[in-house]
Structures are given as structure tokens and as C-alpha cells.
Amino acid sequence: MAKTPVRTRRSGSQLSREAIIEASLRIAARGSGDAFTVRRLGEELGADPTAVYRHFRDKDELLLSVADRVYGEVVESIPDGLGWKDRLRALAEVSLRVGLKYPAVASITASRTTRRANEFRLVELILGAINEAGLDGADAALHYRAVADALLAHVGQAAAYALFTPEARAGDESSWMREYRMVDAERFPHITRLSAELAEVRPAPVYTVQVEALIAAIEARAAAVAGGEDAVV
């Protein structure tokens, strides 16, 4: 009787940084929150879990490397030939789409800096758009941070929410139809007056308002500088 072949685990020397990053992205794309555990990676790669550490100093180095790969996907998805406003709009749209594709990555790295090539490309893209709008120096640096931090915050929040259980999400979403409509009208008159409208708000138009507010702020500051007002110091 023929024996069933036994699948052997690969050693660290049979793996590569690229293979480990790709495995992390596959896990993250399935909506799993454990894309950066060596146990889960070992299962995905058919390798000894500790083999990951032959290629990455620790889990944090792996996390930042995977995040930078995601940033590369964002940059490469933005069409060429757009004006500065449309570049920022496209960046916002693509960032959210890619962040929700890999929610475990986007939720964890929203408050981190990868210090790697694709992050530098993103920073260059935003600074280029802001410079094209007419800002430079301290003004450009300030408005860059405003754009980057706002997009990271929204995408990170949306990605973290995507990892919640369906039951948790349903409870949060239904609160606008239940708890917020039952608050004390004397203590919370504004909530009471707008309870129906609050229940109708959806994330997509909120994001659009945020992005357009950032663009308007850049445009207004550029107009002020062009009119002779001092730059930010």
C-alpha cells in the first residue's frame, strides 16, 4: 500500500522576505486580525514559525515592511496626469479602498511611520500636490501633516471597524436608531432635534466632507499667502 506523502515544513533558508510579506498580505486580505503572529504565518507558509525571525528582526519590523508594501499599492493605484485637488481626492479614495482590503494592516499602522521607500513616495505625492496649490515651507509641512493624519485616522478607524464582529457592528449602527433617539430632550436638545438626521449619516459622505475641507483649507491658505499674508512660522 502506497504511503501518503508527508508535507514537510520549510526551513527559514527556504523562505524569503518577499514570501513572508506576501503571506501576511494574504492573511490580512481574508479579514483576519492575526496576520502578524508567527504561528499563523507558519501555518500559511508551511514553515516553522520561528523561521520568520531569520528574515525579520522582530514582529514590528515585519509589520512595518508589510505596511510599506500596502503603501506601494496605494501610490501605484493613483492615475497620472491629475491636478493637485484630484490627486488628493484619488489618494483618499484609494487609501480607503486598499485599507479595507487589508484591514489588519491599516488598523495597526494608522499611527505608525514605516520609514521606508513607499511611505516616502506617499509623502512626496502629498507635498507635491500642496506645492502645486501654492504652498511651501512651513505652510506646506503643516498642511501635509493635516492631510496625512486625517486620511490615516479615517482609514485606520474604518479598517479597525471592519475587524469587529458583525454583532458588534450591528449594535453600534443601531444605536443611532435606538439610544440616541431616547436621550433626555432637556439635557440633549441638539441630539433630540437632529436624531433622525444623525441616523441617516453614512461613512462615505463623511469622508468626502473631510477631504473637501482639507482641500478648501489648502486653497484658502494659498490664496492668503499669494495676497501677502505671512506664512506659518
Give the tens place of pLDDT for each residue, 185-198: 999 999 999 999 99
Instruction: Kindly state whether residue 186 falls inside one of the protein's structural domains.
Output: no
Distance CA 170, CA 81 (A): 41
Instruction: Kindly state whether residue 179 falls inside one of the protein's structural domains.
Output: no
In this prediction, residue 232 carries a pLDDT of 62
Distance CA 16, CA 10 (A): 11
Distance CA 154, CA 131 (A): 24
- Under the banding of pLDDT at 50, 70 and 90, the label for residue 31 is confident
Residue 9 has pLDDT above 60, yes or no: no
Question: Which CATH number covers residue 38?
Answer: 1.10.357.10
Enclosing domain of residue 106: 17-163+202-227
9-35 as b/e, with b when 16 or more CB fall inside 10 Å? eeeeeebeeebbbebbbebbeeeebeb
Instruction: Kindly state whether residue 158 falls inside one of the protein's structural domains.
Output: yes
Q: What is the pLDDT of residues 123-182, one digit of tens each?
A: 999 999 999 999 999 999 999 999 999 999 999 999 999 999 999 999 999 999 999 999
Instruction: Kindly state whether residue 145 falls inside one of the protein's structural domains.
Output: yes
Instruction: Kindly state whether residue 95 falls inside one of the protein's structural domains.
Output: yes
In this prediction, residue 37 carries a pLDDT of 85
The single-letter code of the amino acid at 192 is T
In this prediction, residue 1 carries a pLDDT of 46
Instruction: Kindly state whether residue 195 falls inside one of the protein's structural domains.
Output: no
68 contacts 32 by C-beta, under 8 angstroms: no
In this prediction, residue 73 carries a pLDDT of 98
In this prediction, residue 229 carries a pLDDT of 81
Is the pTM higher than 0.85? The answer reads yes
Instruction: Kindly state whether residue 114 falls inside one of the protein's structural domains.
Output: yes
Instruction: Kindly state whether residue 23 falls inside one of the protein's structural domains.
Output: yes
Distance CA 233, CA 218 (A): 16
What is the number of structural domains in the chain? 1
